[in-house]
Amino acid sequence: MLLLLQYTSSSFRIAAAFNVVLPRRNSSPRRTSAAGIRGRMSIINMSTTSSPKRPSKFAALMPGEASAAPATGWPPLEFSSTTASIRTSILPDDPCHTNEQPLLHHRREIYYKPSLLSENQVLDLVELLEASSVELREKEARCLVAMEDGDICNTASSKLSEILIPMLMEQVLPFAREVCQAPNLAIADALIRSYDPNDNREALPQHYDKTAYCSVIVPLNPTECEGGLYVQPGASVNTRREVQFQTAGDAVLHRYDVMHGVHVRKGKRYSLVVWMAETEDSVVQKTAPWVEREANISVHAAFLYANNIKEGLLGFSKNETLARSLYEWASEQGHAYSQYVLALWLFKDRQERVRGVDLLRQASTGGLASAQHMLGILYKEGYQGLETNRDLAQSYLRSAANQGYGPSLEILNDPSRW
C-alpha cells in the first residue's frame, strides 16, 4: 500500500493521517493459496479451489488523478553501470545538519535492469490488458491484481495470474533477491496499473511504499506514452527525476526509503508493480520490521516507523511517546516531512505553537509544498498566534502553487477568498 504525502484532487491528505479504512466490496478477487509457489516454482495449478471471498485492500488503493504538474516533465534520472546487466543511481538526501549519520541516511540506490521480462512476455501481458480494458475501467484504482498478501488472485475475467505468476517467481523475485542481497525476500503484492490522461488519471503523487521492503516496477509500453515513473529524493518537486525506460520489460527496483510517483503526460501507460517483504513471515503477518530495525540510522525509516506506532499499524504496538521522539530526531536531521507532521502535532498544545510554526518554516525552506501552503493559511487567517499578513500569505501560497500544489492554486485563483 502507499503512503501519500501530498494533496490530491479528492481530499487533503496530511502526513499525520495514516490509517486507511478499507470498504467492503462484493466484487473482490478470489484467492488461491500461494504457499506452494514461493521460492523456485516449476508448476502452477491454477485450478486450485479458491477460499471464500474477502474484501481486497486494493479496493481502497488510490487511483491515478489529474495533475497540475508542468507538461515538460523533469530531468532524467542518471544511471551508471554497476555490472554488465544492472545500472545504479544513487539518490542524495536533503541537507543534513550533521555528517555523523551512517551511510544509509545519505545513500539510497535505484537499480535498473534491462529486459527483465522478454518482449514476448510483455506482449502477452499487454494483449491480456487490452482484452480486459472494460474490467480495468470499472475498477476505481484502474488495476488488475495478480497477488495480494502472498495469495494468488484469480480475477473473474482474465488469466492474469496464470500468465504473470511464473514471471514473478522465475525472473522478478530472483532479480530482487540478488540486488538486495536478501535471499528470503518474498512477494507480497503484484498488480498491473493503468494511467491515462484522457481519463484524468495520469498522475500519482509522491509517496513511500510503506508496507514494502522493496518495490519492482516494469513498464509494459514505455514507447507508447510520455512520462511515467519519477523519483523525488527531497521535499521539493524540483528534486524530481524522471526514470526513462528504454524498452518494455526493463525494470527498476528501489527500497522502501525512496519517494516516487507517476506523471503521464501523453498516452496510456501500463506498468507492472511488485511489492516485496523481507521474509515470508512479514508477508503472512503483514508487518514491516525493517523500519523499526533501521529507525536509528535512517530518517526515512524513522518517519515510517513513527507513522506506524503513532496509530498502531502493521503489527506495531501504539506508542505515541516513541513516535514523537522519532519525529523529533528525524526533524533535527532535516527531514521536512517529519518537521511538518511534528508541527501539526505541536499545534494541539497551545504552549507549543511557536515551535510548531518554526518547524513549518524549516519544512517550507526545505521545499515542502504542504508546509508552504499551511504557512500561507496561517498568515491568511491569523492562526496559531500569527498576525494576519496578506503579503506573506500570498508569498507562501505562491511558493506551493509553483510546485503544482492544488489547494494553493485554488485559493490564489479565487478572488472571493481574499
**Looking at per-residue confidence, does 330 or 6 come out higher?**
330
Average of per-residue pLDDT across 142-147: 87
Tens-place pLDDT, residues 182-230: 999 999 999 999 998 888 878 889 999 999 999 999 999 999 999 999 9
pLDDT at 47 > cutoff 50: no
Average of per-residue pLDDT across 173-186: 98
Instruction: Give the pLDDT of residue 72.
Output: 74
Q: Which of 411, 2, 9, 3 is nearest to 202 (CA)?
A: 9
pLDDT tier, 329 (very low <50, low <70, confident <90, very high otherwise) = very high
pLDDT at 48 > cutoff 80: no
**CA dist 404 → 65, 238, 292, 348, 390 (Å):** 13, 11, 33, 29, 21
Average of per-residue pLDDT across 110-118: 98
pLDDT tier, 3 (very low <50, low <70, confident <90, very high otherwise) = low
Render the burial of 363-374: b for 16+ CB within 10 Å, e for the rest: bbebbbbbbbbb
pTM, to two decimals: 0.84
Q: Which of 199-208, 258-267, 350-359, 370-379 bottoms out in mean pLDDT, i.e. has the lowest?
A: 199-208
Task: Sketch out the chain's domains with CATH numbers.
Answer: 30-283 (2.60.120.620), 288-417 (1.25.40.10)
Distance CA 304, CA 295 (A): 8
225 neighbors 266 (Cβ within 8 angstroms):
yes
Instruction: Give the pLDDT of residue 138.
Output: 63
Tens-place pLDDT, residues 82-106: 777 999 999 987 665 555 554 445 5
pLDDT at 152 > cutoff 80: yes
**Looking at per-residue confidence, does 100 or 113 come out higher?**
113
Average of per-residue pLDDT across 401-416: 95
Instruction: Give the pLDDT of residue 416.
Output: 95
